[in-house]
Structure 1
Amino acid sequence: MPERSDDELGMRRPISRRDFIDGVAVAVGAAALGGLGAGAGVAAADTGREAGGPYPPALQGMRGYTNDSMTVPHRLRDGTFWTDAGEPRRTGEEYDLVVVGGGISGLSAARFYQREFDRDARILILDALDDVGGHARRNEFRAHGRLLIGYGGSQSLESPSTFSREARSLIEDVGIEVKRFKKYFDSGFDTRHGLGRALYFDKESWGRDHFVAYRPGTEYAEILKDAPMAGRAKTDLSKIYDAPEDWMPGLTDKQKKDRLARITYREYLTEHVRAHPDAVKFLQTTPNGNWGYGADAVGALDASIEFAGFDGLALNWDEPDRRLAPTGQKLWTSEDDYIYHFPEGNAGVVRALVRTLIPDALPGHGMETITTSRLHYDRLDRKGDRVRIRLGAPAVRVRHVDHARRVEIAYVQSGDLRTVQARHVVLACNNQMIPYLTEEISAEQRAALRYAGKLSLVYANVQVRDWTAFDRLKISSVRYPTMYWGSAGLDFPVSIGDYRFPDDPREPAILHLAKTMCKPGLPPREQGQAGRRELLATTFQDMERAIRDQLARALGKGGFDPARDIEGITVNRWSHAYAYEYGLPWDTFWPDGELPSHVARRRWGRVAVANSDSAPRAYVDSAIDMAYRAVRDLAGKPSDSVSRGVDGVAP
């Protein structure tokens, strides 16, 4: 297949282009800001503004942790901020609680504080980004007058049956009834439309392009019969998926688990299964979506819970092995279907929290209006309100004052350095940022905070004029084992209130693409660092071209034309995304040693630490649990059950 030109791919077409780096919009060129061409489908007036100012879900440009949003934090990191910052201006504002970080953990901390201390407590939430919710991000499109909603970050309420009592209580408190998702999520969508899945092998990696669609339950011998890989690799993959053997003969159950705990999934495939290199290459990226890195970094013991090739070992899983990473433990415990999803992902949880804290910011009542009501950003930070959310305001210093009776918080907004004071502070920002905010912690705690890692990922939402290509090919998603974007597919079929998922293939729709930024061959924490560098060096245009190219190649036989069918692209880049969780074989202190997270989250004075890094586990329930623990810390009360439920070890 000849390489398509930019014109054939539609690179110059004046569509809606939005690029977010860690939550903040970055301009991506004149095409993103100019008028829309005829038939583009996105209302030209939908520029991301409302009467009171910007409307972030529809903002144009790059989104995520942008260079602008990270300028102040990076200057703090580099030690240059205070050289010319001058003295902060005292605002005279005083609060019962200041929360640094407006993600799910920070918002939850505010609500828990109201419940623990005072329903009428004066609370200020500071966040560096231009939208509330942290990694939970809502993307909106307008298609021929119709609203389309996608998720640009935190995805779903995963395995709510495993949530702690405290997390379940918070979810219910803000008006979310998880049982309702069984009605909202169209579990029969794929069956009703006869949709299966697909694999796409690219010629650059496999010698020739090859597309294959298949139905769930199809054996891999059939799926791979025409695939461009070695015959032995096909045989190996058929065994791994459909007839796994005992590739650890002669070992007891304990000996097998001991061995798996010392190696990676890739090492298991190469050393025990002795799989062909093509088979290993095919399986390398299967863990990326859940873990943020591939088979070379996921521990084999954790892989045995989730991935192919282990059933023949006949491992005894009557009880979870303590050595499983937190995600492995969650997978062992959970029996939930993957249906607990708002159209905007966990931005739905954010909106519910905002409504609880500032009721008229999100008008309406009941769970169904969480998605359908418009959030009024001009009502988030109003003088006189008991709770205020101040966006575009990164904190730069936290210190006790007045003989430790108060805490002073310095922050920057619109280039102005200011201070407020509070009775208590919860730091719900990234752990790695905290050592740059305070000089009051020990060297031990500082080192533990810096040990926290973040893995990088990218979510793209693509507005298409219809999804007839998927209907013709009879697929809902496609996996690309070795291409830039690892997967592409129709969004989750969720209808809630007046918002309806496009059931007719002729209707406009959103496609969701995912990319994990990792560097195979390195330990997982180092992969996150390398991926972050690659992410920041990649242009929006590079990502857009890959989107158009991969969709054209996989969906072309279904009649998909990227130049004609793509009407909008929003890229959400998260350079600091998944919290790095502990696991074997990399973190040898796990699970019996003192965990860095337990040291990192120690309260000092009137300051406590929340956020998912404190678990550490990149799930919404852990963010909530850590908020609960932080508030209990401020109240001088224990929360052992929450800590044990999150990270497997009581502090």
Structure 2
Amino acid sequence: MSLTPRDLGMDVPISRRDFFDGIAVGCVAATAAPYAAAPARAAQEPSGPSALRTPFTVLGDTGEALSVPHALRDGRFWEHAGTPVPTGEHYGLVVVGAGRSGLEAAAEWSRRRPRDRVLVLDNHPEGGAGREPLRRGVAFDAVMCDRESFGADTLVTLSGPGWIDWLPIDGQARKDLRTLYDDPPDWLPGLSREAKEERLAGLTYSAFLREVCGAHPDAERFCRTMSAPEWGYDTRAFGAIDAWGTGYPGFDGLGLDRSRPSRYNSATVRAEWHGAARETPAPQDAPVRWSSPVVSVRDGARTATVGYFDGHRVRTVEAGAVILACPSAAVPYLVPDLPEERRRALSRAVRVPLLRAEVRLSDPEAWRRLGVRRVRWTGAYWCAAEFAPPDRVRLLATPCRSELGPDAGSAAGRRELFRTPYEVFEHTVRDQLARLLGPAGFDPGRGIAAITVHRWGHAIPPEYRRPWHEFHPDGPSPADAARGRFGRIAIAGSDAGDGAAVLAVEELTR
């Protein structure tokens, strides 16, 4: 039975916080009005002078928090920004973006030219760039077969050999899942290993289950959110070749070589295959100027000029070189005189949105009584929930419309994410925690002390992968056309591909 907003505690005074891309925005106090896990109400983006006022402090409107990049995109920023004010600062290198690629570029530059001053500019407040709420590579110990997928909520723990028997799905779907997990045949007899890999490269994992394995729709539906917590979209957009590469069920009978990745695997899967995950560097001598969105980069006769908005006006610094380690889609608005071919290539880099919430429980004992730590949901709004002792729960939602593919789906999901009011997120958080923890005695009205929501419209860098990008792996790719040097400017964000930061430094220091 569904609980009312009052039953869920929507009217209870608690700490409520809402962030857009790391930027705090105001939360209107929740009331007991009916939310009905609501249709999104559009947040209007402001225009005119109000769109520029202090957009990087705590604000009362989500549109204001995003006003600078949106105003640049829409051609409104310079109408109201005023004349840029030179700071008189000169740097050997200015890096735009304090993510992994930006800090890697700053560290590499300082190693090669230790006497140069380096400045990193970033639009987030300090520490605002963290994006992953759940740990990669950590298995779920339970699945909530939820009412959105199967008509009723059934929590199934994944320990022991008989867990498939407890799934609330069609009997044939249980048989199909046992085959996929325990004894999959060679679904592609007569094909060589190379031909099998090529066949998998042309399918999503959902299509593999339906079209190759002939799995019952309930079996595909049970597996659908397997990829969402780590990749930002479900198996309708996740490639079968990467599903094989990361150990999803159904592939063991194909006889493929598990000692190496396939040439069709994505770069992330190939890197993780060899344990090549990299840590973000921390250059000691490169100051990061937070809350400083860059609005212009111009290459001049002797130096480049970088303009950034400090919350009140545009200020400029001079640089011997500039590395753009920001999302590729933003680059044409910062460097409007880029050649058209590079502008088109940059626009093809579509990032994946993410939504995460952290809930502080005033009653954590209910989760301990539940006896599990990490739960995947098969179809509800939040696709994953993880208990973080002593009293926190982290939830993840993936706004990407996976049925449209990773690129079009991310764009559509991002628009919906921007339109959705905070109250919808709180309602769905409370509802799903009540459904999960209610049998263990949890009261959503009294058991929650605080909810913090982080909306990341451009969270996960784009990655070329099959079956969506036919040019992968042989190329050329849009990143090949987008990255590289343009006068004193080089493009080297994570959108530009692995190793782009070091490549940019090499090009600029020749």
Please show how residues 286-325 of structure 1 align to structure 2 within 5 Å.
Answer: 286-306=226-246, 307-325=248-266
Cα deviation, residue 109, structure 1: 2.2
Deviations 1:279-311 (A, max 9, x none): 111111111122221212222111111211111
SS at match of 2:72: helix
Q: 1:490 aligns with which of 387, 409, 417?
A: 387
1:541 Cα deviation from its structure 2 partner? 1.0
Matches within 5 A, 1:148-547: 153=132, 197-215=141-159, 218-219=160-161, 222-306=162-246, 307-334=248-275, 353=282, 356-357=284-285, 387-401=286-300, 403=301, 405-491=302-388, 502=389, 508-547=390-429
Whether the 8 Å contact between 1:488 and 1:512 is mirrored in structure 2 is yes
What is the CA-CA distance between 1:335 and the residue it aligns to?
9.2
Q: What is the SS of the residue equivalent to 2:256?
A: coil
2-side partners of 1:417 and 1:335: how far apart?
Answer: 40
Counterpart CA distance in 2 for 1:86 and 1:223 is 64
Q: Is the 8 A contact 2:242 2:269 kept in 1?
A: yes
Q: CA deviation at 1:399?
A: 0.8
Distance 1:93 1:460 in 2: 40
Identity rate of aligned residues, in percent? 40
Cα 1:323–1:62 change in 2 (3 A) is farther
Cα distance in 2 for partners of 1:28, 1:446 equals 37
Matches within 5 A, 1:41-190: 66-118=62-114, 120-132=115-127, 134=129, 136=130, 153=132
The alpha-carbon deviation at position 567 of structure 1 amounts to 1.1
> Which stretch shows the higher mean deviation, 449-458 or 108-117?
108-117
State the one-letter code of the partner of 2:509: A
Code of the residue aligned with 2:478 in structure 1: it is P
Partners of 1:591 and 1:474 lie apart in 2 by 44
Tell me the TM-score normalized by structure 1: 0.70
Is the contact made by 1:24 and 1:62 (CA closer than 8 Å) also made in structure 2? no
**Residue deviations 1:215-263 (CA, integer Å, cap 9, x gap):** 2xx23xx223243221111111121122222222232222211211222
2:37: which partner in 1? none
Give the aligned residue type for 2:183. A
CA contact (8 A) 2:8 2:427 kept: yes
Aligned-residue offset at 1:60 = 7.7
Matched with 2:506 is 632
- 1:631 is matched by which residue type in structure 2? V
Letter in 2 for 1:603: R
Determine if contact 2:363/2:447 at 8 Å carries over to the other structure: yes
Q: Say if 1:132 and 1:609 are closer, same or farther in 2 by CA, change over 3 A.
A: farther
2:459 to 577, 594, 599: 577
CA contact (8 A) 1:103 1:132 kept: no
Secondary structure (helix, strand or coil) at the match of 1:411 reads strand
Runs (4+) of structure 1 moved beyond 4 Å?
Answer: 59-63
Q: Secondary structure at the match of 2:320?
A: strand
Q: Which runs of 5+ in 1 are unaligned?
A: 33-55, 137-151, 160-186, 191-195, 341-345, 358-386, 492-501, 503-507, 616-621, 637-651
1:353 maps to a residue whose letter is: A
Matched letter for residue 391 of structure 1: W
- Cα deviation for residue 278 of structure 1 reads 1.0
Q: What CA RMSD, in Å, does the superposition of the two structures yield over aligned residues?
A: 2.7
Question: Structure 2: how far apart are the matches of 1:224 and 1:199?
Answer: 11
Q: State the partner residue of 2:42.
A: none
1:252 and 1:201 map into 2 onto residues whose CA distance is: 37
1:62 offset after TM fit, Å?
9.1
Relative distance call for 1:299 and 1:335 in structure 2 (3 A) is same
Q: Which amino acid in the other structure matches residue 394 of structure 2?
A: H
Verify: 1:561 aligned to 2:443, yes or no. Answer: yes
The DSSP-based 3-state class of the residue aligned with 2:446 is helix
1:433/1:601 Cα in 2 relative to 1: closer, same or farther (>3 Å)? same
CA contact (8 A) 1:480 1:487 kept: yes
Q: What's 2:27 paired with?
A: 28
- Asked if the contact 1:17/1:61 (under 8 Å) is kept, the reply is no
Aligned residue identity for 1:3? S
- TM-score w.r.t. structure 2 length? 0.88
Change (3 A) 1:155 1:94: farther
Q: 1:46-69: CA deviations, max 9, x gaps?
A: xxxxxxxxxx9xx98899xx5334
Q: How many residues align?
A: 486
Q: Whole-Å Cα distance in 2 between the matches of residues 70 and 60 of structure 1?
A: 12
Shift of residue 210 of structure 1? 1.5
